Amino acid sequence: MRPPILFPLFASITSISGIGDKSAKLLSNLGINKVADVLWHLPYSLLRRNLQPSLQTAQLGEINTFAVTITEHIPPRRKSQPYRVLCSDEYGNQIVLCFFKVYPNSIVKNLPIGAKRFISGKVENYNDMLQMNHPDYICEHINNIPQFEPVYGLTAGITNKMLNRLSAQALQQLPILPEWQDNEFLKQHHFPSFNQAINAVHHPQNFDDLLPTSDARTRLAYDELLANQLALAIVRQKIKKQKGRKIAGNGLLRRKIIDALPFKLTSAQENVLKEIFADQASENRMLRLLQGDVGSGKTIVALLTMLNAVECGFQAAIMAPTEILAKQHLETIAPLCENIGLRAELLIGKVKGKARTKIISDLAEGKIDILIGTHALFVEDVIFKDLACVIIDEQHRFGVHQRLNLSNKGNSADILVMTATPIPRSLVLTAFGDMEYSKIDQLPAGRKPVDTRVMPLTKIDDITAALQKQISAGRRAYWVCPLVEESEKIDLAAAEKRFELLQNIFGDKVGLIHGKMKEKQKDEIMERFKNGEINLLVATTVIEVGVNVPEATIMIIEHAERFGLAQLHQLRGRVKRGNAAASCLLLYGYPISSTARSRLQIMKETEDGFLIAEEDLKLRGSGEILGTRQSGFVNFRLADMSVHQHLLITASQDAKLILNQDADLQTPRGQALRILLYLFERDDAVKTYLAG
């Protein structure tokens, strides 16, 4: 399927001369596994190797370049000593070149006494003598030392010199690719061709060339964004072409539920439901993203969406990312369904044996109206009699591939995906460009704002004293422990330590919950917290998504400066589930960066999840926007969403225009665009479509 012109770029990194298995393993730590990965690994700084007039002008600790004459060789007396070569400049100033673990013969051959050489490397002062350990360059001609040298992100065992050599070899393997951008568009933006751009970014001539706003980098960012938007537009077109079923119930079941609710639907919920019901009633399949802040009432919207299908005699399913969340949906939905004569069941991994067999058999016979569960819903032996509506909660945990797989499970089932994670508009486009989009931007009446305060960790004794009074008065609180990026072990150690300290104060009123616990243990602790046996719950970020305990009104987040804005907002949302006044304490440690300070200030000033998401994007860029362990979002290698957002909108419009004019990508530009899709590995979601 991959066009042959791209074969050199998709060859293993070991196809490059001098890269063996050992180096390949080290390079994989930088995400470099094939030749193309070298091209996407862009330099972030620049070294100047300007020739110094003499050794007297040497800048210590910096890269220096000199013209010298070799004057003496000093072989080591012991193995632990380096081989040293004494050199002098034309004014008689001296420098020592040190070589560790080398073959003396090659040094004698390459640096004969009396020879003139140009040397370049870092200069140190050792025993009042200038010294250069393992010079980066030793050349007979100054022209062989680059005046400007790109600086790349490194990993243990990989040097900058090695990456410069690698990028030069990868650029040699780059074929001349056909132009996939519109010529007028290129002229208008002064963009170079793709080949010129990729060469330019690896050969910056000044610091401006390193900026994401340079012409070459902007061109490459746009290529990557267009590949993303075109792939999503193709998937969207494919799904739209699939015939759905007209679902338009008589409204009787929905009316019964709405009448039984202790609250009135907000106008935002009503508007979203109109959009969803219109989708369901059309002949095409629904694929819609529903974004709503914590506590905005997405679950009731999901239930009414499913009831529309059930009113027509069909089945519906709701899938959550965790068993805790699936059970929570059951607790909300099952009693409401029972009251109107419907059956809702839970299917998760721990439902086994006869209970599971019974659910699967009843489901196939159509005796279950709504099935709630985790991804266990979509294993092969789970067969619905007639599934017409699928709801997926916390959608960013599932990517485009899962969406396509789910849509094949039901007989043209409509899909509604929901998230409480605030996502900036631009990222909605990059991850969900294959979907229609709805937003609940209003909270139910009566919800009070959370009193958010920012305090240093040094005041922790005062905080625990104040918390004692609140707990004695019967209030419930969460204490979230610090996040250590990519290290669940350290997260866990921090939580256990805090739990022990708080246990000394609160005794058996404090509980601990973390991701390493068995599901049964987690459920047990959550149940005790819900019913008030435990008043204080120490937790890692396992409680971030969806946990519902309306009675919990205090949230303490330790080392809040380590969390992203979206995560802080999600965590604070845990104490916004009821109508009682709630408070959130953000505790920070020193030193604290200006970015972290800004983040905490934003949390103090606003509770608007959508505003918070946009600010988060500005402060951190898209790579981290949803936290370190959450998947499903595209991590761009060339585009920076905090800088290139405007290009994304253009790419989205361009993708739609391309498919309107050339739906099968058959024109010369269409054929070039196929190469673009494969180049940026956006082919998986569209292979079937492009194959016809």
Residues 44-54 have pLDDT tens digits of 999 988 899 99
Over residues 163-173, mean pLDDT: 95
pLDDT at site 601 = 92
Q: Do 98 and 133 form a contact (C-beta atoms < 8 A)?
A: yes
pLDDT above 60 for 68 = yes
Whose structure tokens read 């338009």?
A: 248
Distances (CA, A) of 556 to 453, 480, 536, 537, 674: 10, 6, 10, 10, 51
Name the helix (H) or strand (E) containing 199: helix 194-201
Q: Is 397 exposed, middle or buried (0-12, 13-18, 19+ CB in 10 A)?
A: buried
**In the beta sheet, which residues pair with residue 85?**
73, 97
Q: Do 254 and 265 form a contact (C-beta atoms < 8 A)?
A: no
Q: Residue 193 in 3-state DSSP?
A: coil
Q: Is 394 exposed, middle or buried (0-12, 13-18, 19+ CB in 10 A)?
A: buried
Q: Residue 459 in 3-state DSSP?
A: helix
Report the alpha-carbon distance of residue 163 to residue 153 in Å, rounded. Answer: 9
Of 138-152, 625-639, 647-661, the least confident: 625-639
Name the CA dihedral angle for 525, 531, 535, 540, rounded to a multiple of 10 degrees: 30
pLDDT at site 626 = 37
Q: Give 236-291 pLDDT, tens digit per residue.
A: 777 677 777 899 999 999 999 999 988 899 999 999 999 999 999 998 888 888 98
**Length of the chain, in residues:** 692
Report the alpha-carbon distance of residue 152 to residue 37 in Å, rounded. Answer: 13
pLDDT at site 466 = 92
Report the alpha-carbon distance of residue 295 to residue 422 in Å, rounded. Answer: 12
Residue 145, Cα to own-chain centre: how many angstroms? Answer: 39
Report the alpha-carbon distance of residue 552 to residue 549 in Å, rounded. Answer: 6
| Residue 533: φ, ψ to 5° | -65, -35
Report the alpha-carbon distance of residue 595 to residue 269 in Å, rounded. Answer: 35
Report the alpha-carbon distance of residue 641 to residue 212 in Å, rounded. Answer: 10
pLDDT above 70 for 399 = no
Report the alpha-carbon distance of residue 515 to residue 307 in Å, rounded. Answer: 34
Highest mean pLDDT among 6-10, 404-408, 644-648, 660-664: 6-10
**Of the candidates 573, 563, 504, 566, which has an alpha carbon nearest to the alpha carbon of residue 536?**
504
Q: Are strands 510-513 and 536-539 parallel, antiparallel or unpaired?
A: parallel
**Of the candidates 406, 402, 407, 368, which has an alpha carbon nearest to the alpha carbon of residue 385?**
368
Residue 550: is the preceding peptide bond cis (ω within 30°)?
no
Report the alpha-carbon distance of residue 371 to residue 363 in Å, rounded. Answer: 8
pLDDT at site 454 = 93
pLDDT at site 516 = 78
DSSP E strand stretches across 466-551: 476-480, 510-513, 536-539
**Of the candidates 433, 401, 394, which has an alpha carbon nearest to the alpha carbon of residue 416?**
394
pLDDT at site 402 = 59
pLDDT above 80 for 684 = no
Residue 689, Cα to own-chain centre: how many angstroms? Answer: 27
Name the helix (H) or strand (E) containing 520: helix 519-530
Over residues 548-568, mean pLDDT: 86
pLDDT at site 632 = 40
Q: Residue 403 in 3-state DSSP?
A: helix
DSSP E strand stretches across 37-115: 45-48, 63-74, 83-88, 94-99
Q: Nearest 5°: CA angle at 296, between 483 and 389?
A: 100
pLDDT above 70 for 440 = yes
Q: Do 102 and 83 form a contact (C-beta atoms < 8 A)?
A: yes
Whole-number average pLDDT of the chain: 86
Sketch out the chain's domains with CATH numbers.
Answer: 4-46+153-210 (no CATH), 50-145 (2.40.50.140), 252-440 (3.40.50.300), 451-606 (3.40.50.300)
pLDDT at site 634 = 59
Count the Cβ atoms, other than its own, within 10 Å of residue 363.
22
Name the CA dihedral angle for 39, 621, 396, 559, rounded to a multiple of 10 degrees: 120
| Residue 628: φ, ψ to 5° | -75, -30
Q: What is the DSSP letter of 381?
A: T
651: which residues sit within 8 A by CB, 6+ positions away? 222, 225, 226, 228, 229, 230
Q: Residue 198 in 3-state DSSP?
A: helix
Q: Is 529 exposed, middle or buried (0-12, 13-18, 19+ CB in 10 A)?
A: buried
Give the confidence band of 398 by pLDDT, cuts at 50, 70, 90. Answer: low
Q: What tokens does 125 get?
A: 């002062």
| Residue 593: φ, ψ to 5° | -75, 165
Q: Give 175-206 pLDDT, tens digit per residue.
A: 999 999 999 999 999 999 999 999 999 999 89
Q: Give percent above pLDDT 90 in the chain.
A: 51
Number of DSSP helices (H) and strands (E) in the chain, helices first: 23, 22
pLDDT at site 361 = 94
pLDDT at site 408 = 59
Report the alpha-carbon distance of residue 670 to residue 327 in Å, rounded. Answer: 48
Of 272-276, 318-322, 361-365, 395-399, the least confident: 395-399
- Its pTM stands at 0.68
Over residues 507-526, mean pLDDT: 84
Report the alpha-carbon distance of residue 473 to residue 574 in Å, rounded. Answer: 20
Q: Residue 264 in 3-state DSSP?
A: coil
595: which residues sit within 8 A by CB, 6+ positions away? 619, 620
Give the confidence band of 687 by pLDDT, cuts at 50, 70, 90. Answer: low
Q: What is the DSSP letter of 51?
A: B
Name the helix (H) or strand (E) containing 91: none
Q: Is 672 exposed, middle or buried (0-12, 13-18, 19+ CB in 10 A)?
A: middle
Q: What tokens does 304 get?
A: 């009414």
Give the confidence band of 627 by pLDDT, cuts at 50, 70, 90. Answer: very low
Give the confidence band of 397 by pLDDT, cuts at 50, 70, 90. Answer: low
**In the beta sheet, which residues pair with residue 556?**
479, 585
**Of the candidates 593, 553, 583, 645, which has an alpha carbon nearest to the alpha carbon of residue 601?**
593
Q: Do 387 and 668 form a contact (C-beta atoms < 8 A)?
A: no
pLDDT above 70 for 400 = no
Name the helix (H) or strand (E) containing 279: helix 267-281
